[in-house]
Amino acid sequence: MDFKDLPQFRPAEIKTYHSNTYDRISPSTTKFDASGKTVLITAGATGIGYSISESFAKAGVARIIILQRRESVLATAKEALEKAYPNTKVETYSASQSDFQRMTEIIQSVGEIDVLIPCATYAGDMKPPTKDKKTEELAEVYMVNVVGLFHMVREFLALPATASGGPKSVIHVSSNASQMYFPGGSGYCSSKAAANQIITHFAFDEPNGNVKFYSLHPGAVWTALAEENVPQNAVVWEDINLPGDFAVWLAGPEATFLNGRFVWAAWDVDELIAMTEKVASDPNLLTITLAK
């Protein structure tokens, strides 16, 4: 399959597709109030996760908690962020998103979290055909991408209200793989679709509206995971700063109408805002569902 031929899956109302970050979602101008806020992000020390960590640091959050398995990359990220953004405290923990006991311990010890960003992902063996995949490996993919995500959010929701006030946010870093088939992708693609459904259910089951939930396709970004599975010339790669800045915008008040929805970092935010009434009137719009 030629990746250039894959569908774009954008709503008809979205005419503008951004490959680079832009002023409208700049952390320096966004309406997200970063004062006193704490952000916790898994896999936030490298790749897309680091870009998200940096964007929230640019926005001026008080504290960033980064979870990742490798101690070496955690130390490098902490040093770089604290040097560039001295007003933001960076704390790091070595942990896997699928280690439920460890995740519970960390979330409870952190105490106050305003924005939770599950970014860690596991693709497993991406070689076709599906019949040759091992059951144990598929289970491992789901343990990270679905069950680990569920556990993190559940523990996050059990925390008390934060001192900073205002609604909390969960920004699940998903993938457009949740919407498509590609060779070797049965575990990864299906787990991402399941994870999006988990986020939608959390959103629609949260009665008081004090927590907003989003699934975010970060874009086609050249990362270590992409390098392992996609030829570099297969697609036009996008700016790694785009998903980070878009995530800050999602955490702000302009995005609340998108609660429970799946959005792309490349979609223009003003064209999204113009869809507010349509989104409010259709609970299935921008979710994993059959196209109308």
Question: Which residues are known catalytic residues?
Answer: 174, 188, 192
d(Cα 77, Cα 71) in Å, to the nearest integer? 10
CB burial readout 131-160, b (16+ within 10 A) else e: eebeeeebebbbbbbbbbbbbbbebbeeee
Number of other CB atoms surrounding residue 237 within 10 Å? 16
Work out the angle between the directed axes of helices 47-59 and 241-250 (0-180°, nearest 10). Answer: 50
CA-based radius of gyration for the chain = 18
For 92-131, give the DSSP string.
EEE--TT-HHHHHHHHHHH---SEEE---------PSPGG
- Which one-letter DSSP state was computed for residue 68? E
Query: In this structure, what are the phi and psi dihedrals at residue 80, rounded to the nearest 5 degrees?
Result: -65, -45
Enter the tokens of residue 234: 């297969």
Residue 195, classified by CB atoms within 10 Å of its CB into exposed (0-12), middle (13-18) or buried (19+), is buried
d(Cα 201, Cα 168) in Å, to the nearest integer? 16
d(Cα 136, Cα 151) in Å, to the nearest integer? 20
CA quadruple 12, 16, 17, 22: dihedral positive or negative? negative
Pairing of strands 89-94, 261-264: unpaired
Beta bridge partners of 198: none
